Amino acid sequence: MLKIIKFRYILIYCIFPFVLASKATARDVKQNYQRVICLAPSLTEFLYEFNLGDKIVGVTRFCEFPEQARSKPSIGGLLDPNFEMIYRLNPDLILYNEGATSHKKRFEQMHFNTLETKSTSINGILDCISTLGEIFDKVQKAKILSSKIRAQIMTIKLKTKNLPKPTVMVTYWRELGMGKIAEAYIAGNDTFFNDLINICGGKNVYQEEKRIVSPIISAEGILQMNPDVIIEIKGTLHQSGYTVKNALSDWNNLNGLKAYKNNNIFILHSQYIGIPGPRIGLTIRDIARCLHPAVNWNE
């Protein structure tokens, strides 16, 4: 039995902002919303993709794209929202993901309309795009974006369908700069990263029967899993004070891993990495390149 120190559902803003729903549904019928607060970078990016940036009156501190989003008032984070700021901004709609469910009652007590989304699957992301398109009367733009993402997925699948499937461990978070790996949050079997691994022609090394979003695995557990490829999602590396070299050197204490021996540990640090928004196709492409470097991805 795989040794797992502990696990809990976590929200990491670069991943599950993270994070859109298998069936996102609005509490209210379509309205002409003019003052929207987005509690996830992915939702902020979707609204800008639909040319609705002027409707956004508040975002989280993690909403950094596009550049215009940085000038919007910050309401803190999804786990620590500034309710006083939210009240002052007087939104007519608050968009949030599943991780903010505990705040829903508070928002309703403040008499704000809300829409909850998730990010547990690619289908969920596509459903959310459709829902937002309907709510904001951007159905055509939503269809175009969904078609683009589906085409990106199909391209990757076609290029990898006949290739060997390496076992893959995706890590979301761990302590950087320790000179070793003590434990790490990894992608479980109930997250959209599980979908991405499959799309890219790999197999999630986490194959436990119980559905888990993000188990925390010890160094001993990682050695036992011994994946062919390790991918670290570090979209906020630029804020950490550490470099890719620093992050890679932490793996030296696990030099018995196949991924270590074969130089198959990758630090993906582009700021779009892991955000389940309009740029999800870029994340899929980057993961595919890690799993199958021999493929000509420029064709």
Q: Is residue 104 domain-shared with residue 182, that is, in the same domain?
A: no
Summary mean pLDDT of the chain: 86
Q: Is residue 151 domain-shared with residue 171, that is, in the same domain?
A: no
Q: Where among 155, 185, 214 does a domain terminate?
A: 155
Q: Where among 101, 131, 155 does a domain terminate?
A: 155
pLDDT tens for 1-43 read 344 433 333 334 444 433 333 333 444 446 789 999 999 999 9
Amino acid (one-letter) located at 269: H
Determine the pLDDT at residue 247: 86
Model confidence at 55: pLDDT above 90 = yes
pLDDT tens for 97-151 read 876 667 888 888 898 999 988 777 899 899 999 999 999 999 999 999 999 999 9
Look at residue 102 and tell me if it is in a domain.
yes
Alpha carbons 106 and 179: distance in angstroms, whole number: 42
Q: Is residue 179 domain-shared with residue 202, that is, in the same domain?
A: yes
Look at residue 298 and tell me if it is in a domain.
no
Q: Is residue 284 domain-shared with residue 189, that is, in the same domain?
A: yes
Q: Is residue 141 domain-shared with residue 37, that is, in the same domain?
A: yes
Look at residue 260 and tell me if it is in a domain.
yes
Q: Is residue 139 domain-shared with residue 29, that is, in the same domain?
A: yes
Determine the pLDDT at residue 50: 97
Q: Is residue 242 domain-shared with residue 200, that is, in the same domain?
A: yes
What average pLDDT does the segment 226-254 reach?
A: 87
What average pLDDT does the segment 218-227 reach?
A: 94
Looking at the structure of the chain, the number of domains it has is 2
Nearest to 54 by CA among 40, 36, 78, 79: 36
CATH at 143 = 3.40.50.1980
pLDDT tens for 56-71 read 999 999 999 999 999 9
Alpha carbons 44 and 63: distance in angstroms, whole number: 7
What average pLDDT does the segment 84-91 reach?
A: 95
Look at residue 18 and tell me if it is in a domain.
no
Range of the domain at 36: 25-155
Q: Where among 130, 155, 180 does a domain terminate?
A: 155
Look at residue 2 and tell me if it is in a domain.
no
Determine the pLDDT at residue 177: 75
Nearest to 98 by CA among 193, 191, 29: 191
Judge if pTM exceeds 0.75: yes
**Burial track 165-185 (b if 16+ CB lie within 10 A, e otherwise):** ebbbbbbbbbeeeeeebebbb
